[in-house]
Amino acid sequence: MGMWFEIALWKRILGAMVVGALLGVLIGDGSQYIAWMGDLFMRLIRMVVVPLVFVTLVAGVVSMGDPSKLGSLGVKTLAIYLGTTLAAITIGLMLSAIFQPGVGVDLSSAIPETVQEPVPLTQRLLEIVPENPINALAEGNILAVIFFALLVGISLLTIGERGKPIANLMEAGTEVMLRITHWVMEAAPFGVLALIAVLTGTQGLSALLQVITLATAVVLGCAVHMILVHGVLIMRLTLGLSPVMFFRGARDAMLVAFSTSSSSATLPVSMSVAEENLGVKPIVASTVLPLGATINMDGTALYVGIVSVFAAQAFGVELGLVDYLLIAGSTTLVSIGTAAVPGASIFLMSAVMDTIGLTPGQIAVVVGFILPFDRPLDMLRTSINVGGDLSVSTAVSNWEGEFDKEVFDRPLKY
């Protein structure tokens, strides 16, 4: 048993992915018999999300000592999130123009799917203020939880010594939730094995071969965005940090994101690696990462842009410079309204495709065509979303003086 724990967690997770994929191929639909392992892991990790976000954010605000710093932190966070999302969609549009993934594709065999309307931005903004904070905590409404936690933290600062007992409780609660997160992460290899086995056993990855050009554009786009934007531009050129050390520190969270296809489910792991591997102080990790899981969708934006151009090419719709600008702008906004759960982005493409003149019927056909192979690509773009969250939190913590370079540079167990 000791040998198992001596192996680095990322190696155990990666090994579980390989075993799960092989097992799924071998037993096919029989993989459903171990689906409960994956479901249990997802329940465990979701169990941790809301209390972890709440107590760490309240404790972080109190430890900051000056609530005015939150304004600076928030502006920088939103600005860089929108900037990286715009960079992602630009990369996606450039690759789709080069690869031409929709040219010659026959959509006649696709079964139209009902397309869900995206949530209006005004409604998303209103929902930030919870009518019932307890209800927001119970439902896991992360933006509402962040808002209420900020109010609690700031109020504790303003009442001074009288708030000390609650502040101490929140600080202790942070330690408790992080310890529980570590325990849950020890179950990750078994949960990941089951999740991957069910995916390959019931869907298989052969569906990707039907749209190999589209899949190649998405995979290449994700790699280019992660390496150039987050590795070179942000880590190396802006912060003067090692991209290798960043990716090494972020790998556990990115592997879990790949397995679960959910940014919000990965949140406890992201917060843990941000503080312990990347040197991000709790106030930044507890603010930037939950916000990122809700609004930062680099991989999703890149994917939606490529699929929109794919759809236009498949239906013979000519796109000009204005159309590409419309796709870029609307995708950046739509990504803010994307739920951090598996497959949600595919139903939010309608707003983007609508801007370039596709009819509801055509959009429904495109969604029906994409659904069979969406999950593998969803896994990849979620991993990019989470990697982007960790990159932005590292940048903001540097700019706010809430960064521990010794932790970032500390060698990790291979």
Looking at residue 109, what is its pLDDT? 58
Q: Is the pLDDT of residue 47 over 90?
A: no
- The verdict on residue 414 lying in a domain is no
pLDDT class of 235 with cuts at 50, 70, 90: very high
Looking at residue 179, what is its pLDDT? 87
Q: Is the pLDDT of residue 186 over 80?
A: yes
Instruction: Give the chain's domain count.
Output: 1
Looking at residue 237, what is its pLDDT? 94
pLDDT class of 224 with cuts at 50, 70, 90: very high
pLDDT class of 253 with cuts at 50, 70, 90: very high
Looking at residue 58, what is its pLDDT? 87
The closest alpha carbon to 261, from 182, 189, 339, belongs to: 339
Amino acid identity for residue 41 in this structure: F
Q: How far is Cα of residue 204 from the mean position of the Cα atoms in its chain?
A: 23
What DSSP string describes 281-321?
-HHHHHHHHHHHHHH--HHHHHHHHHHHHHHHHHTT----H
Per the CB < 8 A criterion, the answer to whether 94 and 304 are in contact is no
Q: Is the pLDDT of residue 104 over 90?
A: no
Q: Is the pLDDT of residue 338 over 60?
A: no
Looking at residue 114, what is its pLDDT? 57
Main-chain dihedrals φ then ψ at residue 114, nearest 5 degrees: -65, 130
**Distances from the Cα of 69 to the Cαs of 66, 157, 189, in angstroms?**
6, 13, 39
Looking at residue 175, what is its pLDDT? 86
- The verdict on residue 225 lying in a domain is yes
In the chain, the percentage of residues whose pLDDT exceeds 90 is 17
- The verdict on residue 257 lying in a domain is yes
pLDDT class of 247 with cuts at 50, 70, 90: very high
Q: What is the largest CA-CA distance in the chain?
A: 70
Total Cβ atoms within 10 A of residue 100: 14
For CA atoms 206, 211, 212, 215, give the dihedral sign. negative
pLDDT class of 391 with cuts at 50, 70, 90: very high
DSSP 8-class letter at 280 = B
Mean predicted lDDT score pLDDT of the chain: 82
Residue corresponding to tokens 């489910």: 265
Q: What is the CATH number of the domain that holds 221?
A: 1.10.3860.10
Dihedral class, residue 129 (left if φ above 0, else alpha if ψ from -120 to 50, else beta): beta
pLDDT class of 241 with cuts at 50, 70, 90: very high
Determine the structural domain holding residue 132 and report its residue range. 2-409
pLDDT class of 15 with cuts at 50, 70, 90: confident
Residues 339 and 166: their CA atoms lie apart, in Å, by 32
- The verdict on residue 355 lying in a domain is yes
Residues 157-179, mean pLDDT to the nearest whole number:
87
Looking at residue 319, what is its pLDDT? 82
Per the CB < 8 A criterion, the answer to whether 111 and 368 are in contact is yes
173 vs 374: which has the higher pLDDT: 173
